[in-house]
Structure 1
Amino acid sequence: MSKNEVEGPGLWSRFKGLFPDHELHIRSGGKLRFFRISSKLQIRVVSIVAAGLVGWLAFTLVMVGLQVKGASDRIALDQREQQVTETAERVAEYRGSVEDQVARVERRQQVLDALVRRHFGNLEIDETEGEGGEETDEVGEAIPEAAALRELEEYQVAFARALRGAVEERTARTAAAIREFGFDPRVMSRQAQGGPLEPIRTAMTLDGAIDSEIADLEIALNRLAVMELSLRAIPSAKPTAYGAMSSPFGLRRDPFTRGRAMHNGIDFRGSHGTGILATGPGRVSFAGWKGGYGRTIEIDHGAGVITRYAHLSAISVRVGEQVDRGDRIGRMGSSGRSTATHLHYEVRINGRAVNPRPLLEADRDVLEIQSVAERRNGNSVEL
């Protein structure tokens, strides 16, 4: 016989001994009745009650667990809804600001495109340069307006580089034109400069590729403006439409003393009253009688360049008046120290007389470059 078989009845006997049989005696109406509660019945009742208690306890635990989980889920859901609401508000706010910025950038780009086409023609811009990668795609999927803004910024980087290249090319052509006139472009464009160091701290010149490109472009544009103003200041038109040169620039015999003398200009002979024309745009700095020059007009063309028109019979301009190339400013005469009707024409740079002849005999290509510089810098908006 196994051990379990030995222990089995022993355990059952001890458990059964906890519920001995009971007899109840009840007297009613003079009669005595006996009720017997067996051990098996007691065990069944106890088992049913115990099973009920276990079931109730399990049910209670499950319900409590479900309530706890439900409360936790509600809390998590509330937090998620709050996060979603806050994120939606931020996205809506960001979307609105991005849309406004995109609109501003697009309007600015349209104006830039129009200006560049007018001054430089069509530029070839490498739109693949600086293309965004996966980050651009991810941003574009989340907020399309942000992707559009990024694309515009990338285009403007390439645009600024292409524009700077065109500006530097035009600066080189302008410098070459100044040399064709016989001047040193470095001397012509040299300016008195100074002042305290002011670091660049604007929104357009902070960190980032586009800021650097715009700063470089601005420097190139400033160099071009100075160079073109210098070229524009060179008087290259003829001072009279009718009249041949009668005395060149340089050493000659003085017509009165017959001794050697320096002639600081060119003489043009012609008829009395022949119109005298401004040889370049500028401001009248003198108009009146000037000793041996007689009736004289001086025009300041900027960059230290002054032209002088002497021996006139009449003056048609006033001091401070702005004149353009080819404007009639007076009439030919023989006032002052003069032997006959003629125009004495001088060009002075920083007070020093230079030979005007090379300026009057420039090639057509050089004159065209000068004409472009004059048109660009003659308009305040373009300047």
Structure 2
Amino acid sequence: MSRNLKEGPSLWSRFKGLFPDHELHIRSGGKLRFFRISSKLQIRVVSIAALGAFTWLAVTLVMVGLQVKGASDRIALDQREQHVIQTEARVAEYRGSVEDQVARVEQRQAVLDALVRRHFGNLDIEDGDAAATEDGADADETGAAIPEAAALQALEQHQVAFARALRGAVEARTRQTAEAIRGFGFDPRAMSRQAQGGPLQPVHTAITENGAIDSEIADLEIALNRLAVMELSLRAIPSAQPTAYGSMSSPFGLRRDPFTRGRAMHNGIDFRGTTGQGILATGPGRVSFAGWKGGYGRCIEIDHGAGVVTRYAHLSGIDVEVGQEVSRGNRIGRMGSSGRSTATHLHYEVRINGRAVNPRPLLEADRDVLEIQSVAERRNGDPVERG
């Protein structure tokens, strides 16, 4: 303690010794003047200068700090502005993507609605629940700005599920239709190959975007086209009675010719009746011939598609024209005895790819098979009028 007290004055003395008293002699105008600068004055001046320097340094440091902070704030602000710009750009891009998605959803829904109306009539379809998630931080951020994105994704997932379920129902109906064709005694595959050249008008999705929904709709369209071909084959089978009343007088096959009395092939079935009795189309189709045809006399031929043609001969009158569309049960002519005939009757033939087949199994099909055929005709716009 005493040592510090001793060193204290010594240090002050040393510091004071740095500023000894000074005298200035100035001669001016023949006069000599003396100025004395004391040690205390020097110390005061130096202290004031040091204090000013310290103050200047402190102010300078504060200003530099403020400038650094201002620069840092500007950098942070620029970064925030850049982030806002990038976010706005992502939002704009994502909104454009959402608009494209809306267009795709509407297009797909229009396709699904058209397919349902065409093949199944008007159905009430309820939307299903589906979960939708966003991908990545950017998707989360922009997804919050585009709240409709999740709903669109849920709708697309519902469309996928609906298309898949509808395809299953269509494939089941295709199998049922094929069984009905077999019930008439025909090969569904052979009939389908012929039906593909008929008046089939498949629905095209016109969707080329990648994704599960496009694949499901494409598979659904393929299934519906197969069903349409199979139903066209089934519709082409003439299964209705060619006359409202009358009985069979001569079967299909070998018989004794009424003119030559020799054995001859009878390529159809004869139905007895009265002159002028109405003759009915046994299936929907287009009149391909209406007029006189040699020994058949007045004759009508109807093309039912899938290579199936029916022939109605020995008529007394014709009520249709070539090219006219007819439905099952429509009146097309009148029974008579024109051509190579011995009495009033209808000669009825069924030909597949030009080859005559026995019409009787077609006219005696099971009720279940006929009902499936009627459903196919109603779905394709052909009214069913069974005689």
**Which residue, 269, 285, 289 being the options, matches 1:286?**
289
How far apart in 2 are the matches of 1:63 and 1:178? 97
How far apart in 1 are the matches of 2:171 and 2:125? 15
Amino acid at match of 2:132: G
Query: In terms of mean alpha carbon deviation, does 116-125 or 59-68 score higher?
Result: 116-125
**Which residue, 157, 160, 163 being the options, matches 2:160?**
157
Determine if contact 2:314/2:346 at 8 Å carries over to the other structure.
Answer: yes
How far apart in 2 are the matches of 1:154 and 1:217? 15
Determine if contact 2:311/2:348 at 8 Å carries over to the other structure.
Answer: yes
Question: Deviation of residue 127 (structure 1)?
Answer: 3.6
Identity among equivalent pairs (%): 83
Amino acid at match of 1:51: L
Determine if contact 1:124/1:162 at 8 Å carries over to the other structure.
Answer: no
Q: Is the counterpart of residue 39 in structure 1 residue 50 in structure 2?
A: no
Once superposed, what is the RMSD of the aligned Cα atoms? 3.5
Structure 2 counterpart of 1:247: 250
Matching of residues 44-123 of structure 1 within 5 Å: 44-81=44-81, 83-85=83-85, 87-88=87-88, 91-92=91-92, 94-95=94-95, 98=98, 101-102=101-102, 105-106=105-106, 109=109, 112-113=112-113, 116=116, 119-120=119-120
Question: Deviation of residue 359 (structure 1)?
Answer: 1.1
Structure 1 counterpart of 2:271: 268
Q: Is the counterpart of residue 375 in structure 1 residue 378 in structure 2?
A: yes
How far apart in 1 are the matches of 2:196 and 2:237? 22
How far apart in 2 are the matches of 1:2 and 1:258? 165
Q: Is the counterpart of residue 365 in structure 1 residue 368 in structure 2?
A: yes
Per-residue deviation, residues 158-182 of structure 1 (Å, max 9, x unmatched): 1110111111111111111111111
Determine if contact 1:205/1:215 at 8 Å carries over to the other structure.
Answer: no
Per-residue deviation, residues 34-66 of structure 1 (Å, max 9, x unmatched): 664333442233123112212211211221231
Structure 1 counterpart of 2:322: 319
Query: In terms of mean alpha carbon deviation, does 131-140 or 229-238 score higher?
Result: 131-140
Per-residue deviation, residues 301-327 of structure 1 (Å, max 9, x unmatched): 101000000111111111111111111
Structure 2 alignment gaps of length 5 or more: 198-204, 383-387
Determine if contact 1:249/1:265 at 8 Å carries over to the other structure.
Answer: yes
Question: Deviation of residue 94 (structure 1)?
Answer: 4.3
How far apart in 2 are the matches of 1:261 and 1:124? 60
Cα gap change, 1:211 to 1:135, in 2 (>3 Å): same
How far apart in 2 are the matches of 1:31 and 1:140? 95
Structure 2 counterpart of 1:198: none
Question: Deviation of residue 358 (structure 1)?
Answer: 1.3
Q: TM-score, normalised by structure 2?
A: 0.83
Question: Deviation of residue 363 (structure 1)?
Answer: 2.2
How far apart in 2 are the matches of 1:54 and 1:30? 43
Matching of residues 228-243 of structure 1 within 5 Å: 228-243=231-246
Query: In terms of mean alpha carbon deviation, does 33-42 or 274-283 score higher?
Result: 33-42
Amino acid at match of 2:48: I
Amino acid at match of 1:98: V
SS in 1 for 2:282: coil
Amino acid at match of 2:67: Q
SS in 1 for 2:50: helix
Query: In terms of mean alpha carbon deviation, does 214-223 or 107-116 score higher?
Result: 107-116
How far apart in 1 are the matches of 2:273 and 2:286? 26
**Which residue, 165, 169, 181 being the options, matches 1:166?**
169
How far apart in 1 are the matches of 2:372 and 2:38? 129
SS in 1 for 2:207: helix
How far apart in 1 are the matches of 2:66 and 2:9? 43
**Which residue, 211, 214, 229 being the options, matches 2:214?**
211
Q: Is the counterpart of residue 181 in structure 1 residue 184 in structure 2?
A: yes
Structure 2 counterpart of 1:199: none
Q: TM-score, normalised by structure 1?
A: 0.83
Determine if contact 1:125/1:159 at 8 Å carries over to the other structure.
Answer: no
Amino acid at match of 1:162: A
